[in-house]
C-alpha cells in the first residue's frame, strides 16, 4: 500500500496543493461556513478543491512522523538507561516499547520505539542529546513514520 505514496517537499509542487490543505483546515476548524467560502478565501476553484481534497495531506493530518525507533549501544553501568529515559522524557516523547539485549563485553543493545507526537525538539536534536549521555556509545534512528 505504501508504495503508491511519496513524501515530497512542497517547494517543488504547485501552490494549489498547499491551498487545498489550507481550505480543508479552514473548513475543519469552523473558520468558514462552507467549501465555497473556504476556496474563495484561499484563491482556488471548487473543482480544484474537490479534485485534490482526498489526495493531498499535510503531515499533521495523516500522522506522518508520529512514531520512531531508535537503536542505542549502552555501557552496562548503573543509571545509564535511566538517564536515557529521563532525556527522552525531557523531549516529551512517549516510550512505546523497550527491547534490551543481555550485556556482552560490558555493552547492551537497546531499541526504543517512541511516540513522537508531542516532541519539543527535532529528532536530530534529541539524538544529539542522547549521544551526550555518559555511557551511551552510539545512537541511530532506525525508522520514522
State pTM to two decimals: 0.57
Tell me, what's the pLDDT at 62? 46
In a domain, 37, yes or no: yes
Domain of residue 81 covers 67-144
User: Domain check: are 96 and 132 in the same one?
Assistant: yes
What's the number of domains the chain is made of? Answer: 2
User: Alpha-carbon distance 132 to 134, whole Å?
Assistant: 6
| 26-35, 54-63, 100-109, 115-124: the lowest-pLDDT one | 54-63
Are residues 87 and 54 both part of a single domain? no
The CATH code of the domain that includes 81 is 3.30.70.260
Measured in residues, the chain has a length of 145
Percentage of the chain beyond pLDDT 90 is 71
Is the Cβ–Cβ distance between 44 and 26 less than 8 Å? no
C-alpha 74: how far from chain center: 25
Place of cell 525531557: 90
| Whether 134 and 118 share a structural domain | yes
Amino acid at each position: 500500500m505504501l508504495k503508491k505514496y511519496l513524501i515530497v517537499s512542497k517547494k517543488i509542487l504547485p501552490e494549489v496543493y498547499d491551498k487545498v490543505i489550507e481550505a480543508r483546515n479552514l473548513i475543519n476548524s469552523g473558520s468558514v461556513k462552507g467549501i465555497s467560502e473556504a476556496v474563495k478565501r484561499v484563491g482556488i476553484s471548487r473543482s480544484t478543491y474537490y479534485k485534490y481534497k482526498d489526495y493531498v495531506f499535510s503531515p499533521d493530518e495523516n500522522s506522518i512522523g508520529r512514531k520512531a525507533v531508535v537503536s542505542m549501544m549502552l555501557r552496562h553501568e548503573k543509571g545509564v538507561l535511566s538517564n536515557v529515559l529521563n532525556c527522552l522524557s525531557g523531549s516529551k516523547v512517549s516510550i512505546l516499547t523497550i527491547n534490551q539485549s543481555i550485556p556482552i563485553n560490558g555493552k547492551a543493545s537497546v531499541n526504543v520505539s517512541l511516540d513522537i507526537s508531542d516532541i519539543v525538539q527535532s529528532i536530530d536534536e534529541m539524538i544529539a542529546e542522547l549521544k551526550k549521555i555518559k555511557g551511551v556509545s552510539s545512537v541511530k534512528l532506525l525508522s520514522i513514520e
